[in-house]
Amino acid sequence: MNKKVLSSSYIGIESFLVDVEVDISNGLPIFSIIGLGDTAISESKDRIRTALKNSNFKLEPKKIIVNLSPAGIKKEGAHFDLPIAVGIMTTMGFIKDRYNILENYLFLGELSLTGEIKRVNGALNSVIFAKENGYKGVVLPFENYQEASLIRGVDIIPVKNLQEVGEFISKNIIHTIQEKIIPNIPEEEIDFSDVKGQAMAKRALEIAAAGKHNLILIGSPGSGKSMLCKRITTILPPLTEKETIESTKIYSIAGELSEKRPIINTPPFRAPHHTSTPISIIGGGKKFTPGEISLASNGVLFLDELGEFPRSVLESLRQPLEEQVLSISRAQYRVNFKTNFIFLAATNPCECGYAFEPSGRCTCTQTEINKYMKKISGPIMDRIDLHVEMRRLSEEELMSYKPSESSREIRERVIKARTIQKLRFGNEEFCNGNMTQKQLKKYCQLSEENKEYFKKVIQTLEISARGFDKILKVARTIADLAESKNIEKEHLMEALSFRKK
């Protein structure tokens, strides 16, 4: 006898259907799984056999063959435990499929030796796949319910053990669950009102948040570069429903979700250390795992001590920064990861870090300063919209207790500017930082007087074509923050103050 149970797997973030075919016959007692499964799948035989025994399903000595189809695609993960167990339970007659459950539902879940069903990665992807392909629903671990419930229009059947699975298939019994309130990430005790001085850097972060512009802070140790960058999340607008699903999908595949954070409902902030490997930053590897730049999508990627990152890592950021997508190709597969993030970077101006300080504390020669800054290539710097030089605070600024603008006040302006951009582009996720050449010509027109002024600046500063576009995009965002329909000279001048070349 044989049965087919539906499940799914994924390459990158794209899911595909997997037919779990189970055939049980008389013969030499063996348990074989074929179909290009990884080590976790090959080891599932002992987990499944023990889980069935401890759930009071006694296996007879039979020849059990399990095929994971399509057999030509590599499959990974322990989430095939449940569909294989269900195939064995129905084929051996332990449970009867009286309601055609196996034809209409996808199954996924990892089994413990006691028969409990444990959390798996990529559950949200399977639910999206089920909805897009007309399946009625998905049977999955109870721990994955919160993330799966983000998708409407498809049945989510959370189960805790094999007994509950059997009751659903044979009796269509769905155990009621008590809705858990999705925990909000507690607001961090950080605010822009805590920051003393550094008005230009704070303004640059506001512009970056409003138009999704990339930003680099170059300054002395202790000037507040990292402190300021960590506060950008306090002025970002909340994620849209689409962005929440996208981010949760990526985090689900990467195994970054937990009971405390079952969904990603706030803008992600990723700050990898400079010793991180290229694959951990970019993504890929044998399993096409999302990297930090994908996990930062819809949020912020912050690279502190930018010059200390391997050059190979920095150069690989070129395409993601320009196109908001990362393509990874292998001999048999090609995957795309979304990389629509705000890129923040911080670095010292020289080896000792004090090149900007007037005290003469810097011990570096001009040659050493140039060599240090050349660790960050010109093409990377050209892709960063806002360049800000920071110096350490003076004694007066340090001792000042004058209250500065709060994150809430800045955030209100950012949301207003984003609303203007939504009306302009007809897309709530598209911002000025993403504008194409056609959109630049349409929305960044200058008066004749401003054209002449800009022409002189380009000649003086020797600005590249990409730099020209970046200045216009920043000026457009500054105008939006000022609620101005046109880009005026003061907007251009401010945008130029954030561009060194």
For the chain, the domains span 2-171, 192-417, 435-501
Is residue 284 very low, low, confident or very high in pLDDT (cuts 50, 70, 90)? Answer: confident
| Closest to 314 in 3D by CA, of 270, 378, 365, 360 | 378
192-417 to CATH, choices 3.40.50.300, 3.40.190.10, 3.40.50.620, 3.40.50.2300: 3.40.50.300
Task: Tell me how far apart the alpha carbons of residues 385 and 496 are, in angstroms, rounded to a whole number.
Answer: 10
Q: 383: which DSSP letter?
A: T
pLDDT recorded at residue 179 = 56
CB neighbour burial string for 57-74, b if at least 16 within 10 angstroms, e if fewer: bebeebebbbbbeeeeee
Q: Which CATH number fits domain 435-501: 3.30.420, 1.10.8, 1.10.1740, 1.20.140?
A: 1.10.8
- For position 461, what pLDDT does the model report? 79
In 233-254, which positions are buried (b, 16+ CB within 10 angstroms) versus exposed (e)? bbbbbebeeebbbbbbbbbbbb
Based on C-alpha coordinates, what's the Rg of the chain?
A: 28
Mean pLDDT, residues 119-129 taken together = 95
> If DSSP states are collapsed to H, E and C, what string results for 427-485?
CCCCCHHHCCHHHHHHHCCCCHHHHHHHHHHHHHHCCCHHHHHHHHHHHHHHHHHCCCC
Most confident of the following: 9-18, 189-198, 279-288, 357-366? 9-18
The dihedral region occupied by 109, where left means phi > 0, alpha psi between -120 and 50, and beta the remainder, is: left
Residues 6+ apart with CB under 8 A from 396: none
* pLDDT per position as a tens digit, 381-425: 888 999 999 988 877 777 777 778 999 999 999 999 999 999 999
CA distance 201 to 228: 8
Poorest-pLDDT segment among 79-93, 101-115, 359-373: 359-373
Return the half-sphere exposure (C-beta side, CA atoms, 13 A cut-off) of residue 26.
0
**What DSSP letter does each residue of 101-150 carry, written as one string?**
HHHHEEE--EEPTTSBEE--TTHHHHHHHHHHTT--EEEEEGGGHHHHTT
pLDDT at 114: 96
Q: Given a cut of 80, is residue 176 above it in pLDDT?
A: no
**Fold type of domain 2-171:** Ribosomal Protein S5; domain 2 (3.30.230)
- Cα 219 to Cα 80, 170, 243, 307, 343: the distances in Å are 52, 67, 33, 13, 17
Phi then psi for residue 197, to 5 deg, are: 65, -150
- Pairing verdict, β 215-219 and 386-390: parallel
At 463, is the pLDDT very low, low, confident or very high (cuts 50, 70, 90)? confident
For residue 178, name the pLDDT band (cuts at 50, 70, 90). Answer: low
Residue 422 · residue 431 · CB < 8 Å = no
- CB atoms closer than 10 angstroms to residue 305: 14
The type of residue at 397 is: E
Which pTM value belongs to this model? Answer: 0.90
Are both 2-171 and 192-417 of the same fold? no
Identify the pLDDT of residue 186.
45
Choose among 181, 90, 182, 183: nearest CA to 139.
90
Shortest CA distance to 109 belongs to which of 85, 80, 136? 80
Peptide bond into 158 cis (omega under 30): no
* Amino acid making up residue 433: G
Residue 428 has pLDDT above 80, yes or no: no
